[in-house]
Structure 1
């Protein structure tokens, strides 16, 4: 994050600026698709997006990469610290300082972070979801709330409650794409995020998934199941995308780009013959740039218009 972005956002104080920089580093390293899209926002908006993503990634790492420490009590301590610091509207924590500052600036609902931490706790004990109904509860806290957290940062041209439904749906769509992209990695952690009853419809169970992961082969039954989930995922994107015109004009290129790039992951899975066990689908850098670069000029023009 350039000092200009922090200056543009009016972020002062060495410790607070350092916290935003740490969140930006987490975003750049682990959220390459959305990080690239964030470059299309106004400079003063970017630090807030980095703070929200950095916090989410930091908590996710506590759950997925505990480093030998029991993650449950650590997550409890984080939840207590988040609640206390949000109430105080100030934090001295290396990551939470930026989050609390962003929440205060944009008036983000504290309950969204409670819901997020609830879903993160589920990852400590829940290894699979019997049906889409149970999975939807997890997605509410792990993904839909992210879209809702971002809404005040991005701005809207309609009432927030009108845009909220679409923002939540887009967060869910991104999460579903992540589930498909990360089937192999999640299986290594003992988790399956695709509804078990729908997998069973195609003759897929945990044993078959493990066999595919172990052998690096995508069994035809799994191909058919993945194709089904891709179709469902695209339907969620169709529900979400009408919300983009509801955003402030300067935010639309960023969210449009993120949606295009994430849907590109689905296309990459299809191009790999639905292999989600031996490879992790990514949109090649040249294709990502081909989406972002033409949009950049339009985004700059929108910013100049808004400034005038």
Structure 2
């Protein structure tokens, strides 16, 4: 690291304080691990932090799993640097450090397990830096922006916070065309909106409101409405409007499922239907996300998984039945 880019003592202090608030395994090691060690680190993080990710990997070709583990680990740690530290300046310092490590990764000098594993994924799948860097832009934005004027502003945030993930998945599976990217962006933005509408109360506790301010004024909803935790008729109307917007965005992205290979199509179907089920759960509560957080039942999750499995194997089952009849 050159003198021009080296952090000053105040920044180093903020970084040290920020690391102290996070798992010790997140810190930069003195010595870079081997690729095998780095992949094991990412796999452990992915499979112990997010059960839905673990379920999704059932449907991925085994050869791609290390790449998805590395991408997930990058996203998980990046998100935690922004959300789990509890101090804006410390988080920003850590995110800047993480950005420098991303640069080092592309320059061939990765040191953290995430970037050692990610470097091989980037090489094998020919992934540009932009989607990784865009995610850091979103996490930095979360530190300083807490309200969004219009839906276009919210979607502008999704362009950095959600859409890069879908593009990374497509790159990893061998797709890099703008047509598929646009459909993926619709799905990912819809998923982000579904999570926002599900977590209005949770986000408000962090002083974040993703409901567009223009729409809130239009329907007569204020921060005080959310703070009181009572879903007024005005709030019901607002959430119904936003849920329908997100549902239409999901529908725009669904054609992508028929434009990718079967393994990826299963994942896309699982996550798209899961996002739509979140919206259904909100609707079933009459759009009251303030008294309690709507969630998908275990039974519904199982049904979605079984639907995905049957969708994956149904063509083969049909082929087998046809052959049986022919015999």
TM-score by length of 2: 0.80
> Contact 2:199 / 2:289 at 8 angstroms: preserved in 1?
yes
State the match for 1:4 in structure 2.
none
Kept in 2, the 8 Å contact 1:22–1:95? The answer is no
Distance in 1, Cα, partners of 2:181 & 2:217: 33
Match of 1:205 among 222, 240, 248: 222
1:24–1:47: 8 Å Cα contact kept in structure 2?
no
Deviation at 1:303, TM superposition (A): 9.7
Could you report, residue by residue, the CA deviation over 1:157-192 in whole angstroms, capped at 9, with x for unpaired residues? xx7222111011111111111111111111000001
2:86 equivalent to 1:86: no
Matched, 1:192 2:205: no
Corresponding residue for residue 7 of structure 1? none
In the alignment, the residues of structure 2 paired with residue 94 and residue 282 of structure 1 have an alpha-carbon distance, to the nearest angstrom, of 33
Shift in CA distance, 302/155, structure 1 to aligned 2, threshold 3 Å: farther
Unaligned stretches of 5+ in structure 1? 1-11
Quote the offset at 1:237 in angstroms: 0.6
1:22 pairs with 2:44: yes
Aligned to 1:45, what secondary structure does the other structure show?
A: helix
Is 2:60 the partner of 1:38? no
Dislocated runs of 4+, deviation >3 Å = 32-35, 300-304
Residue-pair matches, total = 283
Q: TM-score, normalised by structure 1?
A: 0.85
For structure 2, the 5+ residue unaligned runs are 1-33, 318-327
Higher relative contact order (CA 8 A, sep 6+): 1
How far apart, in 2, do the equivalents of 1:80 and 1:259 lie? 34
* 2:322 paired residue number: none
Rounded to whole Å, the distance in 2 between the matches of 1:138 and 1:259 is 20
Match of 2:284 in 1: 271
1:169 equivalenced with 2:186 (yes/no)? yes
| Cα distance in 1, alignment partners of residues 121 and 58 from structure 2 | 18
Alpha-carbon distance between aligned partners in 2 of 1:204 and 1:138, rounded to the nearest angstrom: 22
CA distance in 2, matches of 1:219, 1:34: 35
Paired with 1:134 and 1:298, the residues of 2 have a C-alpha distance of 36
In the TM superposition, residue 34 of structure 1 has moved relative to its aligned partner by 4.5
Distance change (3 Å), C-alpha of 1:238 and 1:140: same
